[in-house]
Amino acid sequence: MSLHSDSYDYIVTGAGSAGCLLAARLTEDPAVSVLLLEAGETDGNFLFHWPAGFARMTKGIASWGWETVPQRQMNDRVLWYTQARVIGGGSTINAQVYTRGNAVDYDAWRDVAGCDGWSYRETLPYFKRSEGNQIFADDFHGADGPLGVSQPVAALPIASAFIRAAQQYGIPYNADFNGAQQAGVGFYQLTQRESRRSSIATAFLKPAMDRPNLTVKTGSQALKILVENQRAVGIEYAQGSEVHKSYASSEVLVTSGAIGSPRLLLLSGIGPAESLQSAGIDVVHELAGVGENLHDHLDLFTIAECSGRHSYDRFAKPHHALRAAAQYLLFRNGPVASSLFETGAFWHSDADQLAPDQQPCDLQFHFGQGSGIEAGVASMPQGGVTLNVAYMRPKSRGTVRLRSANPEDAPLIDPNYWQDPEDRRRHIQGLKIAREILQQAALKPFLKAERLPGPGVKTDQELFDYTCANAKTQHHPVGTCKMGVDNMAVVDPQLKVRGIERLRICDSSIMPMISSSNTNAATIMIAEKAADMIRGLPALPAAIVGNSN
């Protein structure tokens, strides 16, 4: 083992969505030097760039290989917990769905969590700045940003049939989930440009790679934050068998994600004293909220078998897959151009009890044009479709803890799903709605029968048993280094770690409450806003619009 050292203005730990964007924005100033560390490798494999490659990613490619602890409220089920380990992070391996959530999500950050500057109207300009939307250019969207955002180009007829079926159930059509209203059913906007994935690595980092003031080191795992006299001065990291130290003259910026960021702080001796001591780590700075407030969207699903070749399942066979690859290379369309989840809906678990315009949406549906798309999800021999549903506003809270002081050990991840009985009730209600949608007339020509949970599963107890055996994460963990002003806040509204100078956290871990949608867009927004804070720039003017339920 050898020891090396060097110095930069900023060190960024983790080249995910937030880290790639921060490194690109900060190095726009040629006088500023940045070191970006990434434990994973580059995104050179074509599967990272072909939209349908997402299906392979869920099997564990480019991830840490972690899992949850047994979930007490789910019959002690252990869930696979994908966390990206590659340049671009989640934006390199996700399903490319670009949704921001509801205005009330961000207004709650300000009004409930006390985070001034983070309301919807104040964050909307940062959403817009990164966005290069190829369809919309209006008060809610940006058209000139680096991040490609487009409509699906490879949706099958059954996807349109799903939209009609949801309308028959009672959900209105919505052409833009990120516009004036979230509620409705329609096509998702996707982080794609010209039928290729537009990850943050592709959109932001790669155009900056030739800058002499940017250094990117892959295969480099941050081991601990170096702290002297309550001030972050650098990072110790492993690169192969060697341990290096690099120093930051301005700030250390932690962007290791909702699991990785608290893990790094804990390994550095920053966190709850009792938790640190039980892991055999000396307390450098006691901060009770580190690793607390973990929450996530749990995903339930129903699968129906198709009556014919209506889904993309047939392209799992090698000869069909080769034909699809050739079609994509020649024409940039066909199955490979599909993210597989291209239509969906936002709706209400209790729509019959309260008028929809009086409540924000609390359910999100993703319609998958196949079965067995994600790891752990059954596939249908004759082909099928999957309808996922997640309860968007969970009250349950969990933790991230260390297994030991050894940075090679996987962390103890406990989302504590369904700790609050209300989460369970509303989630199962969402599954019932999903089953009803698949029974509507518009889908009758395409579907043979529901196979999971299956017609024999009827009671709430039977549905509970089914979900305990089959539920999965929607890959949206947040909140473990939450922003706020209370005693459990880890960072303040400027994203500065309480009690440690020159240290900020700038990723999904700072969300006080989860956004009611896929979380990648919100993470990108956090990094955009953080970049201006770090550079000392004035906040962008607040928007004059807002969206409704």
E-strand ranges in 14-62 read 34-37
Q: Is 475 a catalytic residue?
A: no
Query: Rounded distance, CA 195 to CA 193, Å?
Result: 5
Amino acid symbol at 275: S
Residue 259 has φ and ψ, to the nearest 5°, of: -100, -45
Task: Output the CA–CA distances (angstroms, integers) from residue 540 to 23, 219, 530, in the order listed.
Answer: 20, 36, 12
472, 374 in Cβ contact below 8 A?
yes
The tokens for 346 are 């936002």
User: Of 244, 285, 295, 476, which is the active-site residue?
Assistant: 476
325, 336 in Cβ contact below 8 A?
yes
Query: Rounded distance, CA 215 to CA 246, Å?
Result: 12
How many Cα atoms occupy the beta-carbon half-sphere of 270 within 13 Å? 29
* DSSP per position, 281-301: ---SEE-TTTT--BB--EEEE
The residue behind tokens 């809610």 is 140
Give the torsion sign (CA, 509, 514, 515, 516): positive
Task: Output the CA–CA distances (angstroms, integers) from residue 479 to 204, 264, 508, 515, 528, in the order listed.
Answer: 25, 15, 7, 10, 18
Amino acid symbol at 421: P
User: Which residues sit opposite 294 in a β-bridge?
Assistant: 398
Biggest alpha carbon–alpha carbon distance for the chain: 69
Query: Rounded distance, CA 89 to CA 64, Å?
Result: 11
Q: What 3-state DSSP class applies to 38?
A: coil
Residue 458: how many CB atoms within 10 A of its CB? 10
What residues act catalytically? 476
